[in-house]
Protein backbone atom coordinates (compact mmCIF):
# COMPACT_ATOMS: atom_id res chain seq x y z
CA UNK A 1 0.00 0.00 0.00
CA UNK A 2 1.39 3.38 -1.04
CA UNK A 3 2.02 5.95 1.71
CA UNK A 4 -0.02 9.15 1.91
CA UNK A 5 3.13 11.17 1.33
CA UNK A 6 6.90 10.82 1.31
CA UNK A 7 9.59 13.17 2.58
CA UNK A 8 12.26 13.86 -0.05
CA UNK A 9 15.19 15.94 1.14
CA UNK A 10 17.99 17.44 -0.91
CA UNK A 11 21.58 17.77 0.33
CA UNK A 12 23.39 19.33 -2.62
CA UNK A 13 22.64 22.13 -5.05
CA UNK A 14 25.92 21.98 -6.97
CA UNK A 15 29.31 20.26 -7.09
CA UNK A 16 31.04 21.96 -4.18
CA UNK A 17 28.04 22.53 -1.91
CA UNK A 18 28.31 22.11 1.87
CA UNK A 19 30.14 18.84 2.44
CA UNK A 20 28.40 18.17 5.77
CA UNK A 21 24.89 18.52 4.33
CA UNK A 22 24.33 14.78 3.76
CA UNK A 23 25.06 14.00 7.40
CA UNK A 24 22.99 16.98 8.57
CA UNK A 25 19.99 15.90 6.54
CA UNK A 26 20.17 12.28 7.66
CA UNK A 27 20.53 13.21 11.32
CA UNK A 28 18.26 16.26 11.36
CA UNK A 29 14.84 14.68 10.91
CA UNK A 30 12.78 12.02 9.19
CA UNK A 31 13.34 11.37 5.49
CA UNK A 32 12.26 8.68 3.07
CA UNK A 33 14.60 9.75 0.26
CA UNK A 34 17.68 11.96 0.08
CA UNK A 35 18.62 13.50 -3.24
CA UNK A 36 21.64 15.46 -4.35
CA UNK A 37 22.19 17.59 -7.44
CA UNK A 38 25.86 17.80 -8.39
CA UNK A 39 25.68 18.67 -12.08
CA UNK A 40 25.53 21.89 -14.06
CA UNK A 41 26.57 22.88 -17.55
CA UNK A 42 30.00 24.00 -16.34
CA UNK A 43 30.35 20.89 -14.15
CA UNK A 44 30.03 18.61 -17.17
CA UNK A 45 32.96 20.42 -18.77
CA UNK A 46 35.01 20.10 -15.57
CA UNK A 47 34.22 16.37 -15.34
CA UNK A 48 35.04 16.03 -19.03
CA UNK A 49 38.51 17.44 -18.41
CA UNK A 50 38.91 15.06 -15.45
CA UNK A 51 38.01 12.10 -17.63
CA UNK A 52 40.43 13.18 -20.36
CA UNK A 53 43.23 12.91 -17.77
CA UNK A 54 41.99 9.68 -16.15
CA UNK A 55 39.27 7.49 -17.67
CA UNK A 56 38.35 6.16 -14.23
CA UNK A 57 37.18 9.63 -13.15
CA UNK A 58 34.35 11.80 -14.45
CA UNK A 59 32.10 11.66 -11.38
CA UNK A 60 31.61 13.98 -8.37
CA UNK A 61 34.30 12.79 -5.96
CA UNK A 62 32.84 14.74 -3.03
CA UNK A 63 29.77 12.48 -2.97
CA UNK A 64 32.01 9.48 -2.37
CA UNK A 65 33.56 11.33 0.58
CA UNK A 66 30.09 12.11 1.95
CA UNK A 67 29.15 8.43 1.78
CA UNK A 68 32.09 7.40 3.98
CA UNK A 69 29.91 8.28 6.97
CA UNK A 70 26.57 8.78 5.23
CA UNK A 71 26.08 5.38 3.63
CA UNK A 72 25.72 3.41 6.82
CA UNK A 73 23.59 6.12 8.37
CA UNK A 74 21.22 6.14 5.39
CA UNK A 75 20.84 2.35 5.40
CA UNK A 76 20.27 2.28 9.16
CA UNK A 77 17.54 4.91 8.87
CA UNK A 78 15.94 3.36 5.79
CA UNK A 79 16.60 6.42 3.64
CA UNK A 80 17.03 5.80 -0.08
CA UNK A 81 19.74 7.97 -1.68
CA UNK A 82 19.29 9.28 -5.25
CA UNK A 83 21.97 11.52 -6.80
CA UNK A 84 23.24 12.55 -10.21
CA UNK A 85 26.81 12.54 -8.92
CA UNK A 86 27.70 9.89 -11.50
CA UNK A 87 28.26 12.69 -14.00
CA UNK A 88 30.10 11.24 -16.98
CA UNK A 89 30.91 7.95 -15.25
CA UNK A 90 28.02 6.60 -13.15
CA UNK A 91 29.38 3.06 -13.56
CA UNK A 92 32.71 4.15 -12.06
CA UNK A 93 30.97 5.81 -9.12
CA UNK A 94 28.81 2.73 -8.53
CA UNK A 95 31.90 0.53 -8.45
CA UNK A 96 33.60 2.91 -6.01
CA UNK A 97 30.49 2.92 -3.81
CA UNK A 98 30.36 -0.88 -3.74
CA UNK A 99 34.00 -0.95 -2.70
CA UNK A 100 33.26 1.63 -0.02
CA UNK A 101 30.26 -0.36 1.25
CA UNK A 102 32.46 -3.44 1.63
CA UNK A 103 35.16 -1.40 3.38
CA UNK A 104 32.75 0.04 5.98
CA UNK A 105 30.77 -3.23 6.26
CA UNK A 106 27.45 -1.80 5.07
CA UNK A 107 25.04 -4.01 3.14
CA UNK A 108 23.85 -1.49 0.55
CA UNK A 109 22.20 -2.28 -2.76
CA UNK A 110 23.63 0.09 -5.37
CA UNK A 111 22.25 0.76 -8.84
CA UNK A 112 23.24 3.18 -11.55
CA UNK A 113 21.48 4.83 -14.47
CA UNK A 114 23.32 5.62 -17.70
CA UNK A 115 22.79 5.85 -21.43
CA UNK A 116 22.81 9.64 -21.36
CA UNK A 117 26.39 9.84 -22.65
CA UNK A 118 26.03 10.03 -26.42
CA UNK A 119 29.40 11.64 -27.18
CA UNK A 120 30.60 8.62 -29.23
CA UNK A 121 27.51 9.01 -31.45
CA UNK A 122 27.38 12.81 -31.49
CA UNK A 123 28.56 13.23 -35.07
CA UNK A 124 26.10 10.68 -36.50
CA UNK A 125 23.30 12.39 -34.53
CA UNK A 126 24.20 15.75 -36.08
CA UNK A 127 25.70 17.16 -32.87
CA UNK A 128 29.27 17.73 -34.05
CA UNK A 129 32.33 16.51 -32.14
CA UNK A 130 32.02 17.81 -28.56
CA UNK A 131 34.15 16.55 -25.68
CA UNK A 132 30.93 15.83 -23.76
CA UNK A 133 27.42 15.17 -25.06
CA UNK A 134 24.82 14.10 -22.52
CA UNK A 135 21.09 13.76 -23.07
CA UNK A 136 18.89 14.81 -20.17
CA UNK A 137 17.08 11.65 -19.04
CA UNK A 138 13.94 11.47 -16.92
CA UNK A 139 13.07 9.89 -13.60
CA UNK A 140 11.64 6.50 -14.60
CA UNK A 141 15.01 4.81 -14.67
CA UNK A 142 15.47 5.87 -11.05
CA UNK A 143 11.99 4.52 -10.33
CA UNK A 144 12.91 1.12 -11.82
CA UNK A 145 16.04 0.92 -9.67
CA UNK A 146 14.19 1.83 -6.49
CA UNK A 147 11.40 -0.60 -7.35
CA UNK A 148 14.02 -3.37 -7.55
CA UNK A 149 15.27 -2.56 -4.03
CA UNK A 150 18.19 -0.20 -4.58
CA UNK A 151 19.37 1.68 -1.49
CA UNK A 152 21.48 4.07 -3.57
CA UNK A 153 20.87 5.15 -7.15
CA UNK A 154 23.54 7.15 -8.95
CA UNK A 155 22.85 8.63 -12.36
CA UNK A 156 24.52 10.46 -15.15
CA UNK A 157 22.80 13.45 -16.73
CA UNK A 158 19.17 13.37 -15.72
CA UNK A 159 17.22 16.60 -15.33
CA UNK A 160 17.60 18.11 -11.88
CA UNK A 161 13.92 17.55 -11.09
CA UNK A 162 14.08 13.90 -12.19
CA UNK A 163 15.71 12.92 -8.90
CA UNK A 164 12.47 13.85 -7.11
CA UNK A 165 10.28 12.46 -9.88
CA UNK A 166 11.96 9.05 -9.73
CA UNK A 167 11.63 8.82 -5.96
CA UNK A 168 7.96 9.88 -5.93
CA UNK A 169 7.05 7.72 -8.93
CA UNK A 170 8.48 4.68 -7.14
CA UNK A 171 6.71 5.50 -3.88
CA UNK A 172 3.30 5.91 -5.52
CA UNK A 173 3.54 3.63 -8.55
CA UNK A 174 3.03 6.42 -11.09
CA UNK A 175 3.15 5.77 -14.81
CA UNK A 176 3.77 8.05 -17.75
CA UNK A 177 0.04 8.82 -17.99
CA UNK A 178 -0.04 10.37 -14.49
CA UNK A 179 0.85 13.71 -16.04
CA UNK A 180 -0.50 16.02 -13.34
CA UNK A 181 1.13 14.05 -10.52
CA UNK A 182 4.45 13.84 -12.35
CA UNK A 183 4.28 17.56 -13.16
CA UNK A 184 3.68 18.28 -9.48
CA UNK A 185 6.79 16.30 -8.58
CA UNK A 186 8.74 18.16 -11.27
CA UNK A 187 7.79 21.46 -9.64
CA UNK A 188 8.68 20.16 -6.16
CA UNK A 189 11.97 18.86 -7.54
CA UNK A 190 12.75 22.20 -9.14
CA UNK A 191 12.18 23.92 -5.80
CA UNK A 192 14.53 21.69 -3.81
CA UNK A 193 17.15 20.98 -6.50
CA UNK A 194 19.27 24.05 -5.64
CA UNK A 195 19.43 23.31 -1.95
CA UNK A 196 19.38 26.34 0.30
CA UNK A 197 18.12 28.67 -2.42
CA UNK A 198 14.69 27.38 -1.34
CA UNK A 199 15.30 28.21 2.32
CA UNK A 200 16.44 31.81 2.00
CA UNK A 201 19.75 31.63 0.17
CA UNK A 202 20.31 34.20 -2.60
CA UNK A 203 16.98 35.76 -1.59
CA UNK A 204 16.19 39.38 -2.45
CA UNK A 205 14.61 40.06 0.94
CA UNK A 206 17.41 38.35 2.86
CA UNK A 207 16.97 40.60 5.90
CA UNK A 208 13.74 38.71 6.60
CA UNK A 209 15.55 35.35 6.78
CA UNK A 210 17.21 34.05 9.98
CA UNK A 211 20.88 33.80 9.02
CA UNK A 212 22.36 33.20 12.48
CA UNK A 213 22.83 29.49 11.72
CA UNK A 214 23.74 27.61 8.54
CA UNK A 215 20.70 27.48 6.29
CA UNK A 216 18.79 24.23 6.37
CA UNK A 217 18.45 22.22 3.18
CA UNK A 218 14.91 21.79 1.83
CA UNK A 219 12.50 18.90 2.14
CA UNK A 220 9.55 18.22 -0.18
CA UNK A 221 6.67 16.29 1.34
CA UNK A 222 5.18 14.88 -1.87
CA UNK A 223 1.70 13.35 -1.83
CA UNK A 224 0.27 10.64 -4.06
CA UNK A 225 -1.51 13.20 -6.25
CA UNK A 226 1.70 15.19 -6.84
CA UNK A 227 0.87 18.05 -4.50
CA UNK A 228 3.60 18.90 -2.04
CA UNK A 229 4.66 20.91 0.96
CA UNK A 230 8.13 22.45 0.98
CA UNK A 231 9.75 22.57 4.41
CA UNK A 232 13.05 22.00 6.20
CA UNK A 233 14.26 20.20 9.30
CA UNK A 234 13.33 21.84 12.60
CA UNK A 235 16.05 23.89 14.22
CA UNK A 236 17.94 24.68 11.03
CA UNK A 237 18.64 28.18 9.76
CA UNK A 238 16.82 30.02 7.02
CA UNK A 239 13.12 30.10 6.25
CA UNK A 240 10.61 28.51 3.90
CA UNK A 241 8.08 31.10 2.78
CA UNK A 242 5.96 31.77 -0.27
CA UNK A 243 8.65 34.27 -1.22
CA UNK A 244 11.62 31.89 -0.97
CA UNK A 245 9.72 29.21 -2.89
CA UNK A 246 8.61 31.70 -5.55
CA UNK A 247 12.19 32.88 -6.00
CA UNK A 248 13.43 29.35 -6.60
CA UNK A 249 10.55 28.51 -8.94
CA UNK A 250 11.62 31.46 -11.11
CA UNK A 251 15.24 30.34 -11.23
CA UNK A 252 16.59 29.33 -14.64
CA UNK A 253 13.23 28.91 -16.35
CA UNK A 254 11.94 30.16 -19.66
CA UNK A 255 8.22 30.33 -20.48
CA UNK A 256 5.31 28.96 -18.46
CA UNK A 257 5.98 25.47 -19.84
CA UNK A 258 8.75 23.70 -17.95
CA UNK A 259 9.83 20.86 -20.23
CA UNK A 260 11.04 17.61 -18.71
CA UNK A 261 11.51 14.13 -20.22
CA UNK A 262 8.53 12.64 -18.33
CA UNK A 263 6.03 15.53 -18.46
CA UNK A 264 5.74 19.21 -19.15
CA UNK A 265 4.85 21.14 -16.00
CA UNK A 266 2.69 24.23 -16.51
CA UNK A 267 4.20 26.81 -14.19
CA UNK A 268 1.29 29.19 -14.69
CA UNK A 269 -0.95 26.68 -12.87
CA UNK A 270 1.21 26.61 -9.72
CA UNK A 271 -0.52 27.82 -6.56
CA UNK A 272 1.47 28.56 -3.40
CA UNK A 273 0.18 28.98 0.14
CA UNK A 274 1.83 29.38 3.53
CA UNK A 275 0.34 26.57 5.61
CA UNK A 276 2.54 26.82 8.69
CA UNK A 277 5.92 27.97 9.94
CA UNK A 278 8.45 26.99 7.27
CA UNK A 279 5.75 25.14 5.34
CA UNK A 280 4.60 26.16 1.84
CA UNK A 281 2.02 24.10 -0.04
CA UNK A 282 2.28 23.66 -3.82
CA UNK A 283 -1.03 22.73 -5.44
CA UNK A 284 -2.89 23.01 -8.72
CA UNK A 285 -0.01 21.92 -10.95
CA UNK A 286 -1.13 20.63 -14.32
CA UNK A 287 0.95 18.58 -16.68
CA UNK A 288 1.13 18.03 -20.43
CA UNK A 289 2.88 15.39 -22.49
CA UNK A 290 6.67 15.71 -22.62
CA UNK A 291 8.40 16.89 -25.80
CA UNK A 292 9.49 14.23 -28.28
CA UNK A 293 13.12 15.38 -28.17
CA UNK A 294 15.55 15.21 -25.29
CA UNK A 295 17.76 18.19 -24.61
CA UNK A 296 21.48 17.46 -24.89
CA UNK A 297 24.25 19.21 -22.99
CA UNK A 298 27.15 19.77 -25.40
CA UNK A 299 30.57 21.04 -24.32
CA UNK A 300 33.37 21.91 -26.70
CA UNK A 301 36.95 22.94 -25.97
CA UNK A 302 37.23 26.30 -27.67
CA UNK A 303 40.77 27.44 -26.99
CA UNK A 304 42.80 29.24 -24.34
CA UNK A 305 41.79 32.25 -22.27
CA UNK A 306 44.09 34.73 -20.55
CA UNK A 307 43.56 38.08 -18.87
CA UNK A 308 45.39 41.09 -17.51
CA UNK A 309 43.91 43.27 -14.76
CA UNK A 310 45.52 46.71 -14.55
CA UNK A 311 44.94 49.06 -11.61
CA UNK A 312 44.48 52.74 -12.48
CA UNK A 313 44.59 55.19 -9.59
CA UNK A 314 43.65 58.82 -9.11
CA UNK A 315 43.12 61.38 -11.83
CA UNK A 316 42.57 60.96 -15.60
CA UNK A 317 41.35 57.36 -15.38
CA UNK A 318 39.81 57.29 -18.87
CA UNK A 319 42.89 58.81 -20.50
CA UNK A 320 45.21 56.40 -18.69
CA UNK A 321 43.06 53.47 -19.81
CA UNK A 322 43.13 54.66 -23.43
CA UNK A 323 46.91 55.02 -23.31
CA UNK A 324 47.52 51.52 -21.96
CA UNK A 325 45.08 49.94 -24.39
CA UNK A 326 46.76 51.59 -27.38
CA UNK A 327 50.25 50.66 -26.18
CA UNK A 328 49.30 47.09 -25.34
CA UNK A 329 47.52 46.31 -28.60
CA UNK A 330 50.35 47.84 -30.63
CA UNK A 331 52.96 45.78 -28.77
CA UNK A 332 51.24 42.37 -28.96
CA UNK A 333 53.28 39.97 -31.13
CA UNK A 334 50.08 38.38 -32.48
CA UNK A 335 46.49 39.59 -32.37
CA UNK A 336 44.26 37.14 -30.47
CA UNK A 337 41.07 35.93 -32.13
CA UNK A 338 39.10 37.77 -29.43
CA UNK A 339 40.27 40.70 -27.33
CA UNK A 340 37.83 42.42 -25.01
CA UNK A 341 38.34 45.38 -22.68
CA UNK A 342 36.31 46.47 -19.66
CA UNK A 343 36.98 49.47 -17.44
CA UNK A 344 35.32 49.15 -14.02
CA UNK A 345 35.00 52.61 -12.49
CA UNK A 346 34.92 51.60 -8.86
CA UNK A 347 36.99 54.66 -7.95
CA UNK A 348 35.63 57.76 -6.25
CA UNK A 349 36.81 61.38 -6.12
CA UNK A 350 38.87 62.62 -3.16
CA UNK A 351 39.03 59.09 -1.74
CA UNK A 352 40.38 58.50 1.76
CA UNK A 353 42.08 55.21 0.82
CA UNK A 354 44.12 54.28 -2.25
CA UNK A 355 41.83 51.35 -3.05
CA UNK A 356 38.79 53.63 -3.16
CA UNK A 357 40.69 55.90 -5.53
CA UNK A 358 41.39 53.09 -8.01
CA UNK A 359 39.65 51.61 -11.06
CA UNK A 360 40.38 48.29 -12.77
CA UNK A 361 40.99 47.87 -16.49
CA UNK A 362 40.56 44.27 -17.59
CA UNK A 363 41.77 42.83 -20.87
CA UNK A 364 40.61 39.31 -21.78
CA UNK A 365 42.07 37.40 -24.71
CA UNK A 366 40.87 34.17 -26.31
CA UNK A 367 42.44 32.19 -29.12
CA UNK A 368 42.59 28.57 -30.32
CA UNK A 369 46.40 28.78 -30.19
CA UNK A 370 47.83 28.79 -26.64
CA UNK A 371 51.00 30.47 -27.92
CA UNK A 372 49.05 33.57 -28.90
CA UNK A 373 47.46 34.20 -25.52
CA UNK A 374 50.02 32.51 -23.30
CA UNK A 375 53.42 33.83 -22.23
CA UNK A 376 53.78 36.42 -25.07
CA UNK A 377 50.46 37.99 -24.09
CA UNK A 378 51.42 38.19 -20.43
CA UNK A 379 54.94 39.42 -21.16
CA UNK A 380 53.59 42.30 -23.23
CA UNK A 381 51.70 43.65 -20.22
CA UNK A 382 54.70 43.27 -17.90
CA UNK A 383 57.05 45.01 -20.34
CA UNK A 384 54.86 48.13 -20.19
CA UNK A 385 55.18 48.40 -16.42
CA UNK A 386 57.66 51.30 -16.54
CA UNK A 387 56.60 52.72 -19.88
CA UNK A 388 52.92 53.52 -19.55
CA UNK A 389 50.69 55.70 -17.36
CA UNK A 390 51.70 56.92 -13.89
CA UNK A 391 50.91 54.53 -11.07
CA UNK A 392 50.81 51.42 -13.30
CA UNK A 393 50.34 48.19 -11.36
CA UNK A 394 48.72 44.79 -11.89
CA UNK A 395 46.37 42.98 -9.52
CA UNK A 396 48.48 39.83 -9.87
CA UNK A 397 51.23 38.53 -12.15
CA UNK A 398 49.77 37.44 -15.51
CA UNK A 399 49.84 33.73 -16.18
CA UNK A 400 49.99 31.38 -19.15
CA UNK A 401 46.24 31.24 -19.68
CA UNK A 402 43.95 28.27 -19.31
CA UNK A 403 41.77 26.19 -21.63
CA UNK A 404 38.14 27.20 -21.81
CA UNK A 405 35.08 25.56 -23.24
CA UNK A 406 31.73 26.59 -24.58
CA UNK A 407 28.35 25.09 -23.89
CA UNK A 408 25.53 24.74 -26.35
CA UNK A 409 22.25 22.88 -26.17
CA UNK A 410 21.34 20.22 -28.68
CA UNK A 411 18.26 18.08 -29.19
CA UNK A 412 17.82 14.45 -30.13
CA UNK A 413 14.79 12.22 -30.56
CA UNK A 414 14.15 10.38 -27.29
CA UNK A 415 13.84 7.10 -29.17
CA UNK A 416 17.50 7.38 -30.23
CA UNK A 417 18.81 7.45 -26.66
CA UNK A 418 19.08 4.20 -24.72
CA UNK A 419 17.99 4.89 -21.12
CA UNK A 420 19.62 2.10 -19.10
CA UNK A 421 19.32 0.98 -15.49
CA UNK A 422 21.92 -1.33 -14.05
CA UNK A 423 20.19 -2.96 -11.12
CA UNK A 424 21.84 -4.05 -7.83
CA UNK A 425 21.58 -7.68 -8.95
CA UNK A 426 23.49 -6.93 -12.15
CA UNK A 427 20.47 -7.06 -14.46
CA UNK A 428 20.45 -4.28 -17.03
CA UNK A 429 17.04 -2.87 -17.95
CA UNK A 430 16.10 -0.57 -20.82
CA UNK A 431 13.60 2.16 -19.93
CA UNK A 432 11.28 2.89 -22.81
CA UNK A 433 10.51 6.58 -23.37
CA UNK A 434 7.06 7.93 -22.68
CA UNK A 435 4.63 6.99 -25.49
CA UNK A 436 2.86 10.33 -24.90
CA UNK A 437 5.69 12.39 -26.37
CA UNK A 438 4.62 15.08 -28.79
CA UNK A 439 5.78 18.24 -30.48
CA UNK A 440 6.06 20.82 -27.69
CA UNK A 441 3.77 23.83 -27.57
CA UNK A 442 5.94 26.92 -27.67
CA UNK A 443 5.09 29.67 -25.22
CA UNK A 444 4.55 33.08 -26.77
CA UNK A 445 6.28 35.97 -25.03
CA UNK A 446 4.30 39.15 -24.37
CA UNK A 447 6.40 42.34 -24.64
CA UNK A 448 4.07 44.37 -22.41
CA UNK A 449 0.71 44.32 -20.66
CA UNK A 450 -0.82 47.58 -21.78
CA UNK A 451 -0.85 51.10 -20.35
CA UNK A 452 0.05 51.88 -16.75
CA UNK A 453 -2.95 52.76 -14.60
CA UNK A 454 -2.94 55.95 -12.54
CA UNK A 455 -2.04 55.02 -8.98
CA UNK A 456 -1.65 58.56 -7.69
CA UNK A 457 1.53 60.26 -6.56
CA UNK A 458 4.88 58.57 -7.20
CA UNK A 459 8.39 58.80 -5.83
CA UNK A 460 11.73 57.90 -7.38
CA UNK A 461 13.01 54.71 -5.78
CA UNK A 462 14.75 51.44 -6.66
CA UNK A 463 12.26 48.99 -8.13
CA UNK A 464 13.64 46.43 -5.66
CA UNK A 465 11.87 48.22 -2.82
CA UNK A 466 8.67 46.71 -4.26
CA UNK A 467 9.72 43.51 -6.04
CA UNK A 468 12.10 40.60 -5.64
CA UNK A 469 14.18 39.00 -8.39
CA UNK A 470 16.14 35.83 -9.06
CA UNK A 471 18.40 35.38 -12.08
CA UNK A 472 20.58 32.67 -13.55
CA UNK A 473 22.20 31.27 -16.67
CA UNK A 474 20.79 29.02 -19.38
CA UNK A 475 23.70 28.46 -21.72
CA UNK A 476 24.50 31.78 -23.36
CA UNK A 477 21.18 33.23 -22.26
CA UNK A 478 20.03 34.36 -18.84
CA UNK A 479 16.70 34.69 -17.12
CA UNK A 480 15.42 37.21 -14.62
CA UNK A 481 12.33 36.24 -12.68
CA UNK A 482 10.65 39.21 -10.98
CA UNK A 483 7.82 38.91 -8.49
CA UNK A 484 5.63 41.10 -6.30
CA UNK A 485 4.17 40.26 -2.92
CA UNK A 486 0.74 41.87 -3.30
CA UNK A 487 -1.94 41.97 -6.00
CA UNK A 488 -1.78 45.76 -6.45
CA UNK A 489 2.01 45.66 -6.63
CA UNK A 490 1.86 42.87 -9.20
CA UNK A 491 -0.62 44.77 -11.36
CA UNK A 492 1.77 47.73 -11.29
CA UNK A 493 4.80 45.53 -12.03
CA UNK A 494 2.98 43.83 -14.91
CA UNK A 495 2.06 47.16 -16.47
CA UNK A 496 5.39 48.88 -15.78
CA UNK A 497 8.09 46.35 -16.58
CA UNK A 498 7.79 45.83 -20.31
CA UNK A 499 10.60 44.56 -22.52
CA UNK A 500 11.30 48.14 -23.53
CA UNK A 501 11.49 49.23 -19.89
CA UNK A 502 13.80 46.34 -19.00
CA UNK A 503 16.15 47.34 -21.80
CA UNK A 504 16.08 50.93 -20.59
CA UNK A 505 16.94 49.86 -17.04
CA UNK A 506 19.59 47.34 -18.15
CA UNK A 507 21.39 49.00 -21.07
CA UNK A 508 23.61 45.94 -21.63
CA UNK A 509 20.51 44.17 -22.96
CA UNK A 510 19.44 46.96 -25.32
CA UNK A 511 20.58 45.23 -28.52
CA UNK A 512 19.65 41.70 -27.45
CA UNK A 513 16.50 39.64 -27.97
CA UNK A 514 14.43 39.60 -24.78
CA UNK A 515 11.36 37.41 -24.16
CA UNK A 516 8.80 38.31 -21.49
CA UNK A 517 6.41 35.80 -19.91
CA UNK A 518 3.62 36.27 -17.35
CA UNK A 519 2.99 34.00 -14.36
CA UNK A 520 0.02 35.70 -12.67
CA UNK A 521 -0.64 33.04 -10.03
CA UNK A 522 2.85 33.62 -8.68
CA UNK A 523 2.53 37.41 -9.20
CA UNK A 524 5.59 37.13 -11.39
CA UNK A 525 7.16 37.97 -14.73
CA UNK A 526 10.02 36.08 -16.32
CA UNK A 527 12.46 37.59 -18.81
CA UNK A 528 14.80 35.51 -20.96
CA UNK A 529 17.72 37.50 -22.40
CA UNK A 530 19.35 35.77 -25.35
CA UNK A 531 23.12 35.91 -25.78
CA UNK A 532 23.93 38.07 -22.77
CA UNK A 533 26.43 35.44 -21.57
CA UNK A 534 28.07 34.83 -24.95
CA UNK A 535 28.54 31.10 -25.37
CA UNK A 536 27.95 30.18 -21.74
CA UNK A 537 29.57 30.28 -18.34
CA UNK A 538 32.78 28.49 -19.39
CA UNK A 539 33.53 31.22 -21.93
CA UNK A 540 33.31 33.76 -19.09
CA UNK A 541 32.53 36.85 -21.15
CA UNK A 542 31.09 38.80 -18.20
CA UNK A 543 32.48 39.34 -14.73
CA UNK A 544 29.26 37.63 -13.56
CA UNK A 545 29.34 34.70 -16.01
CA UNK A 546 26.33 32.89 -14.50
CA UNK A 547 24.13 36.01 -14.28
CA UNK A 548 23.65 35.49 -10.55
CA UNK A 549 23.57 39.24 -9.88
CA UNK A 550 21.60 40.32 -12.93
CA UNK A 551 18.32 40.38 -11.02
CA UNK A 552 19.82 42.39 -8.18
CA UNK A 553 21.16 44.93 -10.66
CA UNK A 554 17.63 45.30 -11.99
CA UNK A 555 16.29 45.76 -8.44
CA UNK A 556 18.77 48.59 -7.86
CA UNK A 557 17.49 50.63 -10.81
CA UNK A 558 15.33 53.64 -10.02
CA UNK A 559 11.76 54.01 -11.34
CA UNK A 560 8.60 55.92 -10.43
CA UNK A 561 7.07 53.94 -7.56
CA UNK A 562 3.54 54.74 -6.34
CA UNK A 563 3.70 56.44 -2.94
CA UNK A 564 0.84 54.28 -1.72
CA UNK A 565 3.12 51.23 -1.75
CA UNK A 566 4.98 52.81 1.17
CA UNK A 567 8.71 52.58 1.73
CA UNK A 568 10.84 49.88 3.36
CA UNK A 569 11.64 50.16 7.05
**Average confidence score pLDDT of the chain:** 95
The C-alpha atoms of residue 322 and residue 330 are separated, in whole angstroms, by 12
Residues 241 and 313 in one domain: no
Rounded to an integer, what distance in angstroms lies between the CA atom of residue 420 and that of residue 115? Answer: 5
Residue 1 has pLDDT above 80, yes or no: no
Cβ-proximal residues to 414 (8 Å cutoff; 6+ apart), any chain = 261, 292, 293, 294, 433, 434, 437
In the prediction, which pLDDT does 2 show?
Answer: 78
Q: Is residue 54 in some structural domain?
A: yes
| CB of 114 closer than 8 Å to CB of 137 | no
Q: Nearest CA to 247 among 462, 463, 468, 466?
A: 468
**Residue-level length of the chain:** 569
Distance CA 77, CA 75 (A): 5
* CA–CA gap between residue 156 and residue 169 (Å, rounded): 19
- Tell me, what's the pLDDT at 541? 64
C-alpha to C-alpha distances, 394 to 154, 308, 347, nearest whole angstrom: 45, 8, 16
Same domain, 217 and 358: no
The arithmetic mean of pLDDT across residues 145-158, rounded, is: 98
Mean pLDDT on 35-56: 88
**pLDDT tens for residues 156-166?**
999 999 999 99
Q: Identify whether residues 319 and 425 lie together within a single domain.
A: no
Q: Are 6 and 30 in contact (CB under 8 A)?
A: no
The alpha carbons of the chain give a radius of gyration, in whole angstroms, of 25
Same-domain status, 213 and 317: no
pLDDT value at residue 425? 87
Residues 206 and 165 in one domain: yes
Residue 407 is predicted with a pLDDT of 87
Q: 175 and 69: one domain?
A: yes
Residue 125 lies in a domain: no
Q: Is residue 442 part of a domain?
A: no
- 3-class secondary-structure state, position 2: coil
List C-alpha distances in Å: 533 to 112, 211, 406, 543: 34, 31, 11, 10
Tally the domains of the chain: 3
pLDDT of residue 538: 61
Q: Provide mean pLDDT across the span 273-279.
A: 98
Question: Residues 277, 311: one domain?
Answer: no
**Looking at the domain assignment, is residue 553 inside a domain?**
yes
Sign of the Cα pseudo-torsion (243, 290, 162, 170, in order) = positive
**pLDDT band for position 42 (cuts 50, 70, 90):** confident
Same domain for 308 and 237: no
For the chain, percent of residues with pLDDT exceeding 90 = 89
Q: Is 246 helix (H, G, I), strand (E, B) or coil?
A: helix
Mean pLDDT, range 38-65, rounded to an integer: 89
Q: Are residues 252 and 153 in the same domain?
A: yes
Element (H, E) at 311: strand 293-313
For residue 308, is it within any domain?
yes
Q: Is the pLDDT of residue 537 over 80?
A: no
With a cut of 90, say whether residue 41 has pLDDT above it. Answer: no
Question: What is the DSSP annotation of 35-53?
Answer: EE----HHHHHHHHHHHHH
Q: What is the DSSP string of 361-416?
A: EEEEEEES-HHHHSHHHHHHHHHTTTTSSTT-EESS-----EEEEEEEEEEEEGGG
Per-residue pLDDT, 535: 72
Say yes or no: 319 and 186 in one domain: no
DSSP state of 106: -
Residue 406 has pLDDT above 90, yes or no: no
Statement to judge: residues 24 and 156 lie in one domain: yes
More reliable by pLDDT, 543 or 399: 399
What is the per-residue pLDDT across 490-531, written as a single tens digit (0 to 9) for each?
Answer: 999 999 999 999 999 999 999 999 999 999 999 999 999 999
Confidence of residue 569 (pLDDT cuts 50, 70, 90): low
Residue 190 within a domain: yes
pLDDT digits (tens, 9 = 90+) for 180-222: 999 999 999 999 999 999 999 999 999 999 999 999 999 999 9
Report d(CA 141, CA 433) in Å as an integer.
10
DSSP-derived pairing of the beta strands 33-36 and 5-10:
parallel
Are 146 and 263 part of one and the same domain? yes
Condensed to tens digits (0 to 9), the pLDDT of residues 366-378 reads: 999 999 999 899 9
SS3 call for 241: coil
Residue-number span of the structural domain to which 246 is assigned: 5-118+134-288+421-431
Q: How many CA atoms lie within 13 A of 241 on its CB side?
A: 16
C-beta neighbour count of 451 within 10 angstroms: 7
Amino acid sequence: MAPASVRIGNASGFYGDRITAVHEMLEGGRLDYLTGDYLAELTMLILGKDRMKDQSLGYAKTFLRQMETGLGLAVDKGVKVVVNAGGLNPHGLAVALRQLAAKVSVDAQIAFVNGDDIAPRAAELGLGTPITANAYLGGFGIKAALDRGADVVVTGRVTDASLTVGAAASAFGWGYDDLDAVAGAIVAGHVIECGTQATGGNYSFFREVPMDRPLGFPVAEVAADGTSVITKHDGTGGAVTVGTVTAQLLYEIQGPRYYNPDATALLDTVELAQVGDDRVAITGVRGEAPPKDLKVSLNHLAGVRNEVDVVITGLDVDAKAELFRAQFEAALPSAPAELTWELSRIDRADADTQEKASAVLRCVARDPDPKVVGRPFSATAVELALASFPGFTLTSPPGNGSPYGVFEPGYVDAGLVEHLVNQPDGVSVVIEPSPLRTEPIRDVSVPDSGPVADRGATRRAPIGEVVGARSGDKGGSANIGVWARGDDEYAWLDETLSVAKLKELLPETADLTVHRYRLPKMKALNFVIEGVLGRGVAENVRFDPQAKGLGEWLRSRVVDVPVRFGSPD
